[in-house]
Structures are given as C-alpha cells and as structure tokens.
C-alpha cells in the first residue's frame, strides 16, 4: 500500500477534489504506473457532470495519460520497470473473440469490470484515507499521480517521446485520426465534413489531410476554432448560426451533392442527423464519434439509408491500442502528425477544475495536467 495524490470525483456535478489517496500495489496481471501527464477529454467532463449513465462515484477519472512503469504484478511478461506506457481504455488482450476479429477493436475481455469501475478481479486498488473505496474509471484513472492498470490495457511506447504531448494519443489523437483511417478508410481525393472542431474534430481533420482528402469542411458554432482547424487542413468553414435556410441543403451544395464522409465530433444528436443527411446519396458514410447525453436518441427518415447513406460509429478510432498506439507515437516523433499546437493549456493537478472551465468556455483544445 502506498499513498499518492489524485483528483477525486466525489459526487456527480461536483468539482474534483484533489487529495491524498491510498493505492494498493499491482496484483497478478496488473501494473503500477506513475502518471507523468494527462489530458482532459470531454468524456471526463461528461462523467464528472453526472450525465454519464455509466458514471460511478467516488471515482478517479481521466483516460488520456502517459507515464512510467514502477512495478509489475505476478505473471506480467510484456512490460518491465522503467518502460514508458500509455493506458488504454480499449484494451487489447489479443485472445478474445473481439480481438481475433479484424472487424473490431472492442476487446471485451475486461469490459464488465471496467464498466463497473473495478479491476478485472472485481476490486478497486484506490481508497480514501478513511478507507472508503474509490472506483477506477475506464480502466485508466489518469487523474492520479500513480495508478494500477491491467497489463493488456497498456501500450509500451518509445522513451524519447515527451509525456506532456503523447498523453493525448491515449484518446483524442487516436480517436480522431483512427476514425478516418481505421473506421471510414477514407480514400485519396475524398470530400468530408467534420462537425465539432474540438480536441477530437481537429484530429479528424488532421487524419483527413493525412489520408489525402481534397475537400475538408469544418462545422462549428465557435468561430474561434477557424484558425487552428485551417492550420490542420480544413479547406472550408461553416458556422451553422450564420447559414440562412437549411444547413443540410447548404452543405450538400458546398460539397457538390453531399460529402463522401461526414464525422460527428460534437455528441449532439441533432448534429448527428445533419451529418448523416449531408453525406452523399448512394455512398456517403457518416461516422459518429461524439458521446450523446443520457437518454438521447438519433433519428432520420429511413429513406436516407435506403438511398445509400450509411451510419456508423467508432470507439478509440477503431485502434487496437497495444499495436497501433506505439506507431502513432512514432508518427508524432517523425513529424507525420502534429500535437503541440493543440495542447493549449498546461495545468498542475491542483488546477484541474480550471481545465473543465476552459473546456466549457471553448477556450482550450486540450488542457494537460503535468505531475
């Protein structure tokens, strides 16, 4: 048992509370990681706010981290003390029915305990100093200076990559770029529309440029996002608040009949409908990335699908983390993709709630907490 500092989500809708917590050492198949940096993703805020139907409290949130292996539990063979790692909320056991099917990245080997805020043996390693158990979150809990993660949920990455940048590969970068490359499999010369130019949408844009898309339309209510999106490859910007008449009709005209690929990175179900309907008749594919509020449902006229549009979704950009994440770290180190401009704010753990304020104000792309 050791002590570490963590930002604890004590109750839904409450600010995180930074405190000392107890952390038990790694059991069989588990690894103790010292987190060096973590990003704040909109999904953390979704859970903190109380909107996530899967939200459990008290919990240590955070799923976009990077750090160093401090101790390995019994039977751990793929990692050693001193390795640099990125925790994976979508693990890769390489043995389950899902891992063995190339059509999905959704490893299910530990999904039930992970969803219950526990490690695979059904218990938690975190507790308050008075002994109250604290739940894990998405199997990662990176809003803590130290965390325990299953071996199958850690990608080993090169040691020369900076933690304060590659932590973002733990969710936003991989989700956005992967949605383009793994899920949509966008071809050179495609047209695309990206709804929501935040931490995920900008990475969709970066992925589209990498894939060789010709037209990349960005849609956002916040014109403050134009400069950054243009930097990453956006060719046209549309602010729905400034469009007179029907937004779908406007986008269909702008893309010459609808886009080959559209992406929702807002989590708003009305936007998801617009995205589907702005996809090209006959072949357009719309990919849902955004996480919608509890109870929200998507709808459209079935005719939209009958006439050849398809609706799809993606988690963690379709990436198999232990295999793909080290490669994305290489892409960053080789200059194939950019991360630095998107890390707009650096915070200490004590300032973590300011990161959520910046997110709400639309002022940050990614705020990163450095330990």
Catalytic residue status for 354 = no
Find the binder of Zn ion among 138, 171, 287, 347 (CB under 5 A). 171
Which residues here bind ligand AHE, judged by CB under 6 A? 41, 43, 52-54, 90, 111, 171, 291, 315-316
Instruction: Give backbone dihedrals phi and psi of 311, rounded to 5 degrees, phi first.
Output: -110, 125
Catalytic residue status for 111 = yes
349 binds Zn ion (CB under 5 A): no
Decide which of ligand NAD, ligand AHE, Zn ion, none touches 198; Cβ closer than 5 to 8 Å per partner kind.
Answer: ligand NAD
Nearer to ligand NAD, 184 or 271 (CB): 271
CB of 38 to ligand NAD, least distance (A): 14
Catalytic residue status for 96 = yes
Three-class SS of residue 207? helix
Find the binder of ligand NAD among 58, 65, 207, 290 (CB under 6 A). 290
Catalytic residue status for 93 = yes
Catalytic residue status for 41 = yes
41 binds Zn ion (CB under 5 A): yes
Q: Among the options 30, 47, 84, 107, which is catalytic?
A: 107
Q: Which of 106, 88, 85 is nearest to 97 (CA)?
A: 106
HSE toward the beta carbon, residue 148, CA cutoff 13 A: 29
DSSP 233: T
Q: Among the options 4, 48, 63, 136, which is catalytic?
A: 63
The answer to whether 315 and 138 have CB atoms below 8 angstroms apart is: no
Q: Among the options 4, 48, 64, 314, which is catalytic?
A: 64
Catalytic residue status for 140 = no
Contacts (Cβ under 8 Å, ≥6 apart) of 251: 193, 217, 219, 238, 258, 259, 274, 278
Give how many residues touch ligand NAD by CB under 6 A: 32
Q: Rounded to whole angstroms, how far apart are CA atoms 150 and 158?
A: 20
Nearer to Zn ion, 29 or 290 (CB): 290
Residue 366 belongs to what H/E stretch?
strand 366-370
Residue 165 belongs to what H/E stretch?
helix 163-166
Active site residues: 41-43, 63-64, 93, 96, 99, 107, 111, 171, 366
């Amino acid at each position: 048992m050791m002590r570490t500092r963590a930002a604890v989500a004590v109750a839904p809708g409450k600010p995180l509370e930074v405190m000392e917590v107890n952390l038990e050492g790694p059991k069989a198949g588990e690894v103790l990681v010292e987190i060096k940096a973590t990003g704040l993703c909109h999904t953390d805020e979704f859970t903190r706010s109380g909107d996530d139907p899967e939200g459990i409290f008290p919990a240590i949130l955070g799923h976009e981290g990077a750090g160093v292996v401090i101790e390995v539990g019994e039977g751990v063979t793929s990692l050693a003390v001193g390795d640099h790692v990125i925790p994976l909320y979508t693990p890769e056991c390489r043995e389950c029915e899902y891992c063995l099917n190339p059509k999905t990245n959704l490893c299910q080997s530990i999904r039930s305990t992970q969803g219950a805020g526990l490690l695979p043996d059904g218990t938690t390693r975190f507790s308050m100093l008075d002994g109250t158990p604290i739940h894990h979150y998405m199997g990662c809990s990176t809003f803590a200076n130290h965390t325990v993660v299953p071996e199958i949920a850690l990608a080993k990455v090169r040691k020369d990559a900076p933690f304060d940048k590659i932590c973002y590969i733990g969710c936003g970068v991989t989700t956005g770029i992967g949605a383009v490359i793994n899920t949509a499999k966008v071809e050179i010369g495609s047209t695309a529309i990206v709804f929501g130019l935040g931490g995920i949408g900008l990475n969709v844009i970066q992925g589209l440029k990498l894939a060789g898309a010709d037209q990349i339309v960005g849609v956002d209510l916040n014109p403050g996002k134009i400069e950054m999106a243009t930097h990453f490859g956006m060719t046209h910007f549309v602010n729905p608040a400034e469009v007179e008449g029907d937004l779908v009709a406007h986008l269909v005209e702008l893309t010459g009949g609808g886009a080959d690929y559209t992406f929702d990175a807002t989590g708003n179900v009305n936007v998801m409908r617009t995205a589907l309907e702005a996809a090209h008749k006959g072949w357009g594919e719309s990919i849902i990335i955004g996480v919608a509020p509890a109870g929200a449902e998507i709808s459209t006229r079935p005719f939209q699908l009958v006439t050849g549009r398809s609706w799809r979704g993606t988690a963690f950009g379709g990436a198999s983390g232990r295999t793909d994440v080290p490669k994305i770290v290489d892409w960053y180190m080789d200059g194939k993709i950019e991360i630095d401009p998107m890390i707009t704010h650096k915070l200490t753990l004590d300032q973590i709630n300011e990161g959520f304020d910046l997110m709400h104000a639309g002022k940050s792309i990614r705020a990163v907490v450095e330990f």
